[in-house]
């Protein structure tokens, strides 16, 4: 046995072995402490890490409230749909599954792969708002990390004929247009959430608990009557098409409460189609667009003149020779009539007669009348984007401007403002606010003219629809009707276009106890005719007749009361 050479024997100091032992014991103590801290004092951390493998917090969508008409017929409802979602970190998908999934989602496979690869966080949409049967085929592929999420899509039963009133929501169920936007907070509700357990493929296998209960949106009951709304849209569309017009609008008001029973416009759009239409088709022209109303303003001039005490319905005004010059500008009548009473000025729609009445009044008196009925101020219907119109301060009026305002030039307003203003004559001189929401009681109004003056104007407006007036085609069988035509040249830049018109008619019935006001506007008729009595009055007649019968209104005239002028009788025209 060979002895080990003393030269190669290594002797280690005793302190080194002790130091190593102390280090190992210290590390062990640290590990024990860390384990005690995580499992005893701060066990939430490990629980969260573990739960993240199988637990998820799922958002619960709140159902948006319904929009209904006054009879609780649905105008906007939410239907459940499924959206295909993905958890990027858990996706396990083969090329074959990618192709099949892309086909079901109507996507290119490369686009699908890109969406999955670029998805951030724990959640991303692959395709939203799928029909239930299509969503079922997606989930049958059994791809880990791909799952369905319940959402809601808005559906509009009225389609085109209620589109401008109701509006639309976006893909996230937020109101974007019209009443959907105006009452978004009321309708939307608040989403909730719940904790669930999922398997490795992302499927929910158990509900654990509700974290936050969703608050469902509240319903909204409108003043609209769907039956009258459809009738108004149909008749307006027929007139716009027949007269090759650029656009049109109609408003139907309850003359007693100020509730809007119908409001329609053309051109329209289908809100159920997710492809966004041209902005021009989405405008609610009856509320947002302004136009010069023409002769439909003459009754307000006559009311101001009678209230001043300077005129009565029988006061004679000389309109011959059918024109008058003011400050180098000449006002014309469409036909010369000679001496007319105030009532006949309204019946024949004399521009000269209206201008003479206006010029006999202080400008402030006429301005006060226009202002009191709401011209130049928003109607406060709660519809988004409603226009106030343009009514300049009376101190800036020149005589020619005061004269032309008497027959609706130099002032602009919306169709809703015009319809509301006629409540002055139906409400015994009192005017009320308008509303798109169903009311239990009529709101308080403001007295603008005396009840006697209002009745006198009602009688004058009845003369307009009889033979000898400008609107015999506005008559309705079985009912007394009153109203006024308008035929206004359109502004084209700084001047009035020679061959572009806005044809209008505003009226009410039954004249003995007014229940409905109907205002019709046809923009740029292009089929030859353009007078309000020929273009807009027949629409009024059809809508008023149908609406009164739908509401069961008792007739106040014989069924044979409609008397049209003979075919060879000269047409009573107006043009401003």
105-151 pLDDT, tens digit each: 888 888 888 887 777 666 778 888 888 888 888 888 888 878 787 88
- Residue 150 pairs in a beta bridge with 82
Q: Which CATH superfamily is domain 57-221 in?
A: Penicillin-binding protein 2a (Domain 2) (3.90.1310.10)
Which pLDDT score, from 0 to 100, does residue 100 have?
86
Location of each CATH 3.90.1310.10 domain in the chain:
57-221
Which pLDDT score, from 0 to 100, does residue 4 have?
54
* Residue 253 DSSP class: E
Which pLDDT score, from 0 to 100, does residue 136 have?
84
At a CB cut-off of 8 Å and minimum separation 6, what does 426 contact? 255, 256, 458, 508, 514, 517
* Residue 308 DSSP class: T
Q: Which CATH superfamily is domain 226-268+283-550 in?
A: DD-peptidase/beta-lactamase superfamily (3.40.710.10)
> Tokens at residue 291, please?
């136009």
Which pLDDT score, from 0 to 100, does residue 495 have?
83
User: What is the number of other CB atoms lying within 10 angstroms of the CB of residue 272?
Assistant: 15
At a CB cut-off of 8 Å and minimum separation 6, what does 214 contact? 60, 61, 62, 63, 189, 190, 191, 192
pLDDT tens digits, residue range 483-502? 999 999 988 877 888 889 99
CB 400 within 8 A of CB 410: no
Location of each CATH 3.40.710.10 domain in the chain:
226-268+283-550
User: What is the pTM (predicted TM-score) of this model?
Assistant: 0.85
At a CB cut-off of 8 Å and minimum separation 6, what does 246 contact? 523, 524, 526
Which pLDDT score, from 0 to 100, does residue 184 have?
94
pLDDT tens digits, residue range 418-451? 999 999 999 999 999 999 999 988 888 999 999 9
CA triple 313-315-320, angle to 5 deg: 120
Which pLDDT score, from 0 to 100, does residue 248 have?
97
Which pLDDT score, from 0 to 100, does residue 83 have?
84
> Tokens at residue 194, please?
């719940």
Which pLDDT score, from 0 to 100, does residue 211 have?
63
Active-site residue numbers? 295
Which pLDDT score, from 0 to 100, does residue 147 have?
77
Residue ranges of the chain with per-residue pLDDT less than 50: none
Q: Residue 263: which of 248, 277, 276, 275 has the closest Cα? A: 248
Task: Give the C-alpha distances (Å, rounded to integers) separating 84 from 61, 95, 107.
Answer: 15, 18, 13
Q: HSE, CB side, 13 Å, CA atoms: give it for residue 153.
A: 17
CA–CA dist 251, 286 (Å, integer)? 7
Which pLDDT score, from 0 to 100, does residue 7 have?
55
CA–CA dist 373, 376 (Å, integer)? 9
Angle between helices 537-550 and 226-242 (to 10 degrees): 160
Which pLDDT score, from 0 to 100, does residue 46 have?
53
At a CB cut-off of 8 Å and minimum separation 6, what does 475 contact? 465, 466, 481, 541, 561, 562, 563, 564
């Amino acid at each position: 046995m060979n002895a080990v050479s003393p030269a190669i024997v290594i002797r280690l100091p005793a302190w080194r072995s002790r130091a190593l032992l102390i280090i190992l014991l210290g590390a062990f103590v640290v590990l024990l402490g860390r384990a005690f801290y995580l499992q005893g004092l701060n066990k939430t951390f490990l629980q969260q890490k573990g739960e993240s493998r199988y637990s998820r917090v799922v958002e619960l969508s709140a159902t948006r409230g319904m929009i209904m008409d006054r009879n609780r017929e649905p105008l906007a409802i939410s239907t459940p749909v499924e959206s295909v979602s993905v958890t990027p970190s858990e996706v396990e998908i083969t090329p074959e599954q990618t192709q099949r999934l892309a086909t079901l989602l109507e996507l290119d496979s490369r686009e699908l792969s890109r969406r999955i690869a670029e998805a951030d966080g724990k959640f991303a949409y692959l395709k939203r708002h799928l029909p239930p049967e299509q969503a079922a085929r997606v989930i049958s592929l059994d791809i880990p990390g791909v799952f369905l999420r319940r959402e809601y899509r808005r559906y509009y039963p009225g389609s085109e004929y209620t589109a401008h009133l109701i509006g639309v929501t976006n893909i996230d169920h937020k109101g974007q247009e019209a009443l959907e936007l105006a009452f978004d907070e009321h309708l939307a509700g608040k989403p909730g959430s719940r904790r669930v357990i999922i398997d490795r493929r992302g499927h929910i296998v158990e509900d654990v608990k509700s974290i936050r209960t969703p608050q469902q949106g509240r319903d909204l009951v409108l003043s609209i009557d769907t039956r009258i709304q459809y009738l108004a849209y149909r008749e307006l569309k027929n007139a716009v098409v027949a007269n090759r017009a650029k656009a049109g609008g109609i408003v139907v008001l309850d003359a007693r409460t100020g509730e809007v029973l119908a409001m329609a416009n053309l051109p329209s759009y289908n809100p159920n189609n997710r492809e966004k239409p041209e902005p021009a088709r989405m405008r609610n022209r009856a509320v947002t667009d302004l136009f010069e109303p023409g002769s439909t303003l003459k009754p307000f001039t006559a009311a101001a003149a009678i209230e001043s005490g300077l005129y009565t319905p029988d006061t004679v005004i000389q309109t011959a020779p059918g024109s008058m010059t003011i400050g180098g500008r000449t006002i014309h009548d469409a036909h010369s009539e000679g001496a007319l009473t105030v009532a006949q000025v309204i019946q024949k729609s004399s521009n000269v007669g209206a201008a003479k009445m206006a010029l006999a009044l202080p400008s402030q008196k006429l301005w006060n009348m226009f202002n009191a009925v709401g011209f130049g101020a928003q109607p406060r219907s709660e519809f988004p984007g409603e226009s106030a119109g343009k009514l300049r301060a009376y101190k800036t009026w020149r005589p020619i401007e005061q004269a032309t305002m008497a027959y609706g030039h130099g002032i602009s307003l919306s169709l809703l403002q015009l319809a509301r203003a006629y409540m002055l004559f139906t409400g015994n001189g009192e005017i009320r606010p308008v509303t798109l929401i169903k009311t239990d009681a009529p709101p308080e109004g403001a007295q603008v003219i005396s009840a006697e003056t209002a009745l006198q104007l009602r009688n004058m407006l009845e003369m307009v629809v009889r033979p000898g007036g400008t609107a015999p085609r506005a008559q309705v069988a079985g009912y007394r009707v009153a109203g006024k035509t308008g035929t206004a040249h359109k502004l084209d830049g700084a001047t009035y276009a020679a061959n572009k018109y806005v044809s209008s008619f505003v009226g009410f019935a039954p004249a003995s106890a007014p229940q409905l006001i109907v205002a019709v506007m046809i923009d740029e008729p292009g089929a030859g005719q353009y007078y309000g009595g020929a273009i807009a009055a027949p629409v009024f007649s059809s809508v008023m007749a149908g609406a009164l019968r739908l509401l069961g209104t008792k007739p106040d005239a014989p069924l044979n009361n409609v008397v049209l002028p003979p075919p060879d009788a000269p047409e009573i025209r107006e043009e401003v």
